[in-house]
Structure 1
Amino acid sequence: MTSPTTPTSWRTPFDDDLTEDLALALRLADAADRVAMARFDAPDLNIDLKADQSPVTEADLATERAIRDILVAERPADGIHGEEFGTSGDVARQWIIDPIDGTANYLKGIPMWSTLIALAIDGVPRVGVVSQPAIGRRWWGATGLGAWTNTPTGEPRRLHVSGVDDVAASSVSFQSIAQWDEVGRSEDLLRLTRAVWRDRGYGDAWPYMLLAEGRLEFVAEFGVQAYDIAAHVPIVMEAGGRFTDIDGADSLDSRSSLATNGILHDAFLDVIGPTT
């Protein structure tokens, strides 16, 4: 994803009121939930392979179309960058969409998949919604408006990252061993797991949300695109955490991500070492 300007930091103060944008993002998630759930665990679900041999289902396509239809009608001046139908329109205000993050889970009937919706302004993710309708969960946030999740009572709960300040007491998620091995960093992963209290590979969007809820201190992965991570950025940051690429840079284009509780960000960078 390209942007017309390169911000000095994702943490630079931002003055615009994003209330209406966040409300729209939540309505987009409502529409996406209806479409995606209508075909979840369907025995006749149509599944194809993309050029990169990753799976795509009829639900991926239909869900992104549903989101795009609303945006075209209500925000015709905004750009869109989606996993299934590419990029169109202005990049200064760009909606970034992954209609079903975790397609492999979706097509197997495993409920751990999400719709990811973000709004980036001048290349900086400012609004994010992560919706997991199969388990009845949703997380959302926007710069200056906090980060939130739903609760069984229907009242939203504000999110805060943990206050853990010792790597040895931290709990981490590394997505998968294969990701680290493919980029030649399996030794870095092993060193990390030896340094922390607890390590797990939860996968996809969920560990980022666990981090925003204060249940993890570190999430990292490789091979990601902007649509895989943009929605997570404002949620993690508004919860008090920090979000960069694996080398500590503010970027959606580096094909890597590192989210932490903020307190331990630099310490984790020291543990895993720089990209060689």
Structure 2
Amino acid sequence: MDATHLLDTAIEAARAVGPQLRKAFRSRPDVTVKRDFHDPVTEHDRAAEETIRAVISSRAPGSTIVGEEGGTTGAGDIVWYVDPIDGTANFAAGFPFFCVSIAAAVHGELVAGVVYDPVREQEFTAGQDGAWCDGTPLRSTGATRDQEAMLLMSYPTPQDLDADGERALRRYAGCLGSFATVRKPGSAALKLAYVAAGWADVAYGTRSNPWDVAAGALLVRRAGGVYLGDPLVAGDYLAHVGGFDLSSSELAEVAPS
């Protein structure tokens, strides 16, 4: 099955859940929690993932699907990483910064990815030969140093504070002092899409899962930016636009290898 078919499948699956997510947005849905109260989930996360799984299963039968809500199913060579709502806390509260993230890997190599913002109806796509937003090619260019750059981050999370305490706060303070602008909008996938588009310069996150970052990592790389970390293994990531001087950045010491 070629990469073009896999990208078309990811696009179809993402678009399939757009109407239901737009309808549910700002309805203040009931929220339950998974790990703790910082990790919410709604009925719409589960319903959207079921729809996405159905599309993938019909278009690419025999695939393995790794979903945030439904876990891992199947045992095929094509592996899909699915986050039906990346940024659930934002979605549940009515804050318009969340997305659908779907990526496909073949034999451990990412070949297709979609990050779909259903509120703005913006579709970021990446394939073998480039990255696009609504069909327009993306070029990941922007600031070259911290003092000019917008940093999007989730750090420090409550888990980071539990693990690193004062060191995490000092690192965060260092970023506030070093970067021109620091924002914590949520949704790793959408943050990475913005770096791919050159709408933000750096994105940093810790303890991310493959369904959070796989599609966004491919977007950044195909747009000419830099993604550090293994997007198919849970862990930390750092991404930046092409030409950014990471070696002199406040974040140089935490950049994954």
TM category (shorter chain) comes to: 0.7 to 0.9
TM-score scaled to structure 1, two decimals?
0.81
**Which deviations, in whole Å up to 9, do the C-alpha atoms of 1:116-172 show, x marking residues without a partner?**
11112222322111111112222111122x11112xxxxx21111114333332221
Matched, 1:239 2:239: no
| 1:200 aligns with one of 179, 183, 193 | 183
Letter in 2 for 1:261: V
- In structure 1, the partner of 2:132 is 148
Q: Is the 8 A contact 2:125 2:131 kept in 1?
A: yes
Structure 1 residues 88 and 191 mapped into 2: Cα distance closer, same or farther (>3 Å)? same
Larger displacement relative to structure 2 (99-108 or 168-177): 168-177
Question: Which amino acid in 2 is paired with 1:162?
Answer: T
2:111 maps to which residue?
A: 126
Match of 1:107 among 92, 111, 114: 92
CA pair 91-170 structure 1, distance change in 2 beyond 3 A: farther
Query: Which residue of 215, 222, 229 corresponds with 2:213?
Result: 229
1:181 matched residue in structure 2? 161
Cα–Cα, structure 1 residues 191 and 119, in superposed 2: closer, same or farther, change >3 Å? same
| Helix, strand or coil at the partner of 2:140 | coil
Residue 50 of structure 1 is matched in structure 2 by 34
SS at match of 2:10: helix
2:11 pairs, out of 19, 26, 34, with 26
- Paired AA for residue 260 in structure 1: H
**Count of aligned pairs between the two proteins:** 249
Q: CA deviation at 1:265?
A: 6.1
Alignment gaps of 5+ in structure 2: none
Give the drift of 1:88: 1.2
1:225-264 deviation digits (Å, cap 9, x = unpaired): 111111101111111011123xxxx343242111111433
Q: Determine if contact 2:83/2:102 at 8 Å carries over to the other structure.
A: yes
Q: Is the contact between residue 162 and residue 216 of structure 1 (CA under 8 Å) also seen in structure 2?
A: no
2:241 alignment partner in structure 1: 261
CA RMSD in angstroms, aligned pairs only: 2.4
Q: Equivalents in 2 of 1:251, 1:214: separation in Å? A: 20
Amino acid at match of 1:198: T
Residues 80-89 or 18-27, more deviating: 18-27
In the aligned structure 1, how far is the partner of 2:84 from the partner of 2:251?
A: 34
Does 1:68 find its partner at 2:50? no
Cα contact 1:210–1:216 (8 A) shared by 2: yes
Cα shift at 1:183:
4.3
Identity of aligned residues (%): 27
Matched, 1:216 2:200: yes
- Structure with greater proportional helix content: 2
The amino acid that maps onto 1:210 is Y
Name the SS of the counterpart of 1:96 in structure 2: strand
- Which letter does structure 2 place at the counterpart of 1:92? D
Q: Is the 8 A contact 2:151 2:179 kept in 1?
A: yes
> What SS is found at the alignment partner of 2:157?
helix
CA–CA distance in structure 1, aligned partners of residues 253 and 76 of structure 2:
33
Counterpart contact for 1:97–1:117, Cα < 8 Å? yes
Determine the structure 1 residue equivalent to 2:137: 158
Partner Cα separation in structure 2 for residue 200 and residue 55 of structure 1 = 21
